[in-house]
Amino acid sequence: MHQSVKQIPVARPHLGEEEAAAARDAILTGWVTQGPQVEAFESEFASMTGAPFACAVSSCTAALHMALVALGIGDGDEVITVSHSFIATANAIRYTGAKPVFVDIERDSCNIDPERVEAAISPRTRAILAVHQIGHPCDLTRILHIAQHHSIPVIEDAACAVGSAIRMDGSWQMIGKPHGLIACFSFHPRKVLTTGEGGMITTSEPDLLKRFTLLRQHGMTLTDRQRHNSTQVVFEEYPEIGYNYRMTDIQAAIGRVQLRKLPRLVARRRELAARYSEAIATIDGIECLPLRSWETPNFQSYAIRVLPHFSMDRNALMQFLLARGISTRPGIMNAHQEGAHLEHNPVSLPNSEDARNSMLLLPLFPDMTNVEISYIIDELRAVSQQD
């Protein structure tokens, strides 16, 4: 490994003194659970995405679960989605007692294939859960057309897609507006915007917002702030079973700082991704995901596919790079190949399976230096020239 380059992680959250100060200030107010910072974060996030309403929660998994519950999805129902996603997508469906119906991805985009969505619709289909994989928007225009034709709601798993944009109806729009009925985001440390853990739901339906705010706090009819600010003694009720899916004010304070930084964080990711793409176009045997005219990804991750004629297979390339101080990750997992879902969905999804086995994620994070990305590109070129 080049002596001037230390171990390069696959991702690193961009957190600093501003986030630390925001967390400190929240702590010193004495209000550390869901409170005024959460409310402000929700308002600012909704404004940024163009969504009428936003509801902060403890994770994107919680957001997905609540979205399905709020739509009344349960035992015997089916939800069409991809296997090619982090397992939380499929798990959230199973939490409700419903069945995930896995469809294959498009080979080039690694996103859900709209044609296979339509073919999978049955009388039991209650929703389509469309994933924007690693920040690349899926083909929402076609998916929404299919969904509207069959009167099926669309939930967007936008875990990776904060800051991504899509061209719809003649204009560029942020992911999360939402374009379907509900969109769900993640603020995990590997995501573009992080609160450590946490998530957000956006919707245009006020009745759904009411359901989300009820469900995230044990089904309680009064929030802590309402009770705290009341000049009279009040008593909450619990009309239905809810969950402990709240975000803390400490997390939200960090999220508000991150949200202000989002434009430049995404801009830096796109700059780094453009350098990768320009270089990879000249390296025989590997390819990146093509950019379609109607998408502007946030590049939450940067994926490459190792083709059969490359000088070594995917796993060997990952080991080669690791030995030179370059961390990578394998391609996105497939839920249908994992024990938790295998017996429930004995299907073959060739594009998903090929993507999992042939793709890897290269390092990409805003604080990545030009020296580091040049080093990675040089090592990819070197291994491509081996006999």
> pLDDT, tens digit, for every residue of 17-73?
999 999 999 999 999 999 999 999 999 999 999 999 999 999 999 999 999 999 999
CATH of the domain at 290: 3.90.1150.10
191 is catalytic: yes
Within this chain, do residues 26 and 56 fall inside the same structural domain, yes or no? yes
Q: How many residues are recorded in the chain?
A: 387
| Same domain assignment for residues 286 and 223 | no
- What percent of the chain lies above the pLDDT cut of 90? 88
Q: Which residue has the higher pLDDT, 111 or 340?
A: 111
Of 233, 260, 287, the last residue of a domain is 260
> Where residue 191 sits, what CATH number does that domain have?
3.40.640.10
Question: Does residue 227 surpass a pLDDT of 80?
Answer: no
CA proximity to 156, closest of 125, 202, 122? 202
Q: Are residues 186 and 277 in the same domain?
A: no
3-class DSSP assignment, residue 111? coil
Cα 139 from chain centre: 16
Among 122-136, 149-163, 338-352, where is mean pLDDT lowest? 338-352
Is residue 170, in this structure, part of any structural domain at all? yes
> Number of structural domains, the chain?
2
For residue 387, what pLDDT band results from cuts at 50, 70 and 90? low
- pLDDT level of residue 1 (50, 70, 90 thresholds): very low
Is residue 239 located within the same domain as residue 361?
no
Last residue of a domain, one of 226, 260, 294: 260
pLDDT for 276 equals 98
Same domain, 256 and 281: no
User: Within this chain, do residues 172 and 285 fall inside the same structural domain, yes or no?
Assistant: no
Q: Does residue 45 lie within any of the structural domains? A: yes
Helix (H) or strand (E) holding 160: none
Let me know whether 221 and 158 are in one domain: yes
Domain that holds residue 326: 262-384
Same domain, 307 and 325: yes
Gap between the Cα atoms of 283 and 268, Å rounded? 23
Residue 324 in domain: yes
Q: Is 277 among the domain residues?
A: yes
DSSP 323-378: HTTB--EESPPBGGGSHHHHTT-----HHHHHHHHHEEEE---TT--HHHHHHHHH
- Which pair of structure tokens corresponds to residue 7? 């171990």
DSSP annotation of 85 reads S
Q: Note whether residue 7 is domain-resident.
A: no
Torsion angles phi and psi, residue 380, rounded to 5: -65, -40
CA count, 13 A, side-chain hemisphere, 60: 28
Residues 203 and 306 in one domain: no
As given in the structure block, the two tokens for residue 383 are 């291994």
Task: Yes or no: say if 3 and 375 are a contact pair by the CB < 8 Å rule.
Answer: no
Boundary (domain end) residue, out of 240, 260, 280: 260
Tell whether 211 and 301 lie within a shared domain. Answer: no
Choosing from 6, 99, 191, 261, which is the catalytic residue?
Answer: 191
Q: Is the pLDDT of residue 144 over 70?
A: yes
pTM: 0.94
Indicate whether 86 and 143 sit together in one domain: yes
Which pLDDT band holds residue 157 (cuts at 50, 70, 90)? Answer: very high
Q: Are residues 335 and 372 in the same domain?
A: yes
In a domain, 2, yes or no: no
